[in-house]
A and B are shown apart, each in its own frame.
Chain A
Amino acid sequence: MSEPKAVIITDYLTKTYGDVPAVEAVSMTVMEGEIVGLIGPNGAGKSTLIKMLTTLLPPSSGDALIAGYSILTAPAKVRAHIGYVPQLLSSDGNLTGYENLLMSARLYLVPHHEREERIRSALALMELADAGDRLVQHYSGGMIRRLEIAQAMLHEPAILFLDEPTVGLDPVARHGIWKHMRELRDRVGMTMLMATHQMDEAEALCDRIAILHDGRLQAIGTPGALKADVSPDATLDDVFAAITGSEIAKEGSLRLIQQGRSSAHAHS
C-alpha cells in the first residue's frame, strides 16, 4: 500500500468582500480518496471556499495546494486536475446531453480517438444513455445533476468539487446521486469535497465532515468523532447546533430552493 497523500491543502485561505470576511483563515487537509463534507448554514462560506479551490475566485490572502499545485501560481495546472459541479446548474439547456459532454471533452483535450467512447461510457455510467440526444432543457433536475457530474468527471480528474449536488432533488434522485458518487470513489479512488446542508447526506457519504460557520472552520473530523465530542448519543444535528448555536433549517431557505430550481428550464 502506498502512503496516503494529501491532495487538498489549504493554508489560511481567506476571502473578504469589502470588510466582510466570507472565508477566514481556513486551513485544512484532504487525503487522496476521501469524501469530505463541508457543512454550514447559508452564508457560511462553503461556495466561496470551493470557488477559491477551483480557481474561479482569487483569495484575498492565503493559498491552497490542489494535487500539488498552488491555486495562486499554477491555476491552469490545478484546473487540469479537478472537476467542479457548481451550486447553480451549469449544463447548457439549449444543447443536448451529448453536446454538453462534447464541449467538455474538447475543452479538456480528451484525445480525439477516445472522445466518442468516453462520452458514451460517461452517459451510460450516469444512466443517461437514452437521453444523450435530447435537449437538456427537457431533462429532470436529477438528470441534469447526473449530466453535470458526467461533465465534471469526463477527463478523469483526481479531485471532484461538488457544491450542494442534491439540492432541489427528490429522494430517489438524491439516492441516485449518492450511489454514483460512491461508485466514483470506490472505482477510481476519486477524492471529493462536497458542500451540503443536509446532515443525512453528510452522514451517508462522507468520511470526514468540516463544519464552517461565519467563514471559519469550526471543527473537522469523522462523523463518529464529531458526535462523540458532544455526547455519547448525539446526532450530527446536535453537533451542528452545539458548534454553530443554531439549528440548520431542514427545508433550506427560499433562496436555495429558487437556486435549485433555476435549472436549464429558465433557459429559453
Chain B
Amino acid sequence: MPIPEPKPARAVLSYLTQIQAVADTEIRKLRRDPSELLTRAFQPVVWLLLFGEVMANVRGLNTTGQSYLDFLAPGILAQSVLFSAIFYGISVIWERDLGVLHRQLVSPAPRSALVLGKAVSAGARGVAQAVIVYALALMLGIGLSFRPFDILGVIALIWLGSALFSTFSLMIACLVKTRERFMGIGQVLTMPIFFASNAIYPIELMPHWLQSVSLSNPLTYEVDGIRTLMLQNGLSRYGLPIDFAVLLVLTGLCVAIAAHLYPRLAE
C-alpha cells in the first residue's frame, strides 16, 4: 500500500513527524548513555576555574562594568555549545559507515527533515551543557538572571547555535566523508571560530582586521545574545534582534546546504 499523499494542511504535521523521527532516536541514545555529556562538562570547568580566575586579575581588561568572570561565563557557555556541535558530523560519518544512515536516506522523508532532526537533537545536547555551566556559574557567584523570559531566550539561543554549528558540521561531513579528514578539519576550524569572537575578551582589544573577522563570526552574536540574557546586568552590543536574526538566517542557509549535500553520504 503506497503512502497516502499528504494534504497541504497535513504536510506541516508530516514534516514535523519526520523531524521527530530522527531527533527522538538521537535523544533516546543520549539519555541512555550520557557519559559524553559529562566528559564535555570538564572543559567549561577548566576554563572558568583556571583561566577565568587568573585572567580576572589582569588590569585594563575593560569588560564594560562586569567582572571578568561574569563576562567570561556566557562566552564559555557558547564555547561548549560550539565544541559539542561542531563535531556532530563525526557521528554522522560513523552512522554512514555502519549503514544506519542509509535507513533514513532511503525513506521518503525530505532530506531537510532528516538534517533538521539532527539539528534539533544537537540543540538538546546544547541545553544539557547549559545546565552544567549554569550550575558551575552559580557556585562561582556569577550574577545569573533567572527571569523566565531570559531563561527562555538563552534556551532559544543555545538551540539555534547548536543547530547552526551542527548543520555546518554536517555540511563538512558530507564533503569529506571520512572520520580522519573530518577530525583534521574540525580541529582547524574550532580554534579560529572560538578565538576570533567576543567569547573570552572584548573585541575592542583586537586589531582592526580581527575585529572585522569577529563581526562576521556567528559565534560573536551567539555570545552577545547569551551575555545579554544570562546575566542580571547583561547588556547587548548588537541588539537581541540582530543576534537572533544572524543566527536564524545562517542556520537556514546551513540546513539548506546540508540537505542538498546529505544524499552524498549514501553513495
Contact = CB atoms under 8 A, between A and B. Distances in A.
A76 interface: yes
Interface residues of B, number: 31
A222 interface: no
A258 to B, nearest CB: 13
B32 A107 contact: no
A77 B3 CA distance: 9
B59 interface: no
Contacts of A187: none
Interface stretch (B95-103, B118-126, B140-148): B95-103
Contacts of A99: 25, 28
B6 A109 contact: yes
B266 interface: yes
Contact of B2 (A51, A91, A102, A158): A158
Contact of A103 (B2, B25, B105): B25
A209 B170 CA distance: 40
A87 B103 CA distance: 12
B100 A90 contact: yes
Contact of A90 (B29, B33, B103, B267): B103
A81 B1 CA distance: 8
A249 B1 CA distance: 39
Interface string A96-123: 0001001110111100000000000000
A93 B33 CA distance: 13
A76 B15 CA distance: 14
Interface string B11-46: 000100110111011001100110000000000000
A15 B104 CA distance: 23
B99 A56 contact: no
B109 interface: yes
Given A88-B98, A92-B100, A79 B2 contact: no
Given A94-B29, A95-B29, A109-B3, A56 B102 contact: yes
Contacts of B107: 79, 104, 107-108
B25 to A, nearest CB: 5
B50 interface: no
Given A82-B106, A89-B99, A108 B263 contact: no
A80 interface: yes
B105 A56 contact: yes
Interface in A51-88: 51, 54-58, 67, 76-77, 79-82, 84, 86-88
Among B20, B99, B104, max chain A CB count under 10 A is at B99
A106 B103 contact: no
A92 B25 contact: yes
A81 B4 CA distance: 11
B266 A51 contact: yes
A56 B21 contact: no
Interface of A: 51, 54-58, 67, 76-77, 79-82, 84, 86-95, 99, 102-104, 106-109, 151, 155-156, 158, 262, 264, 266-267
Given A90-B103, A103-B103, 5 more contacts: A56-B267, A90-B98, A90-B99, A91-B103, A106-B17
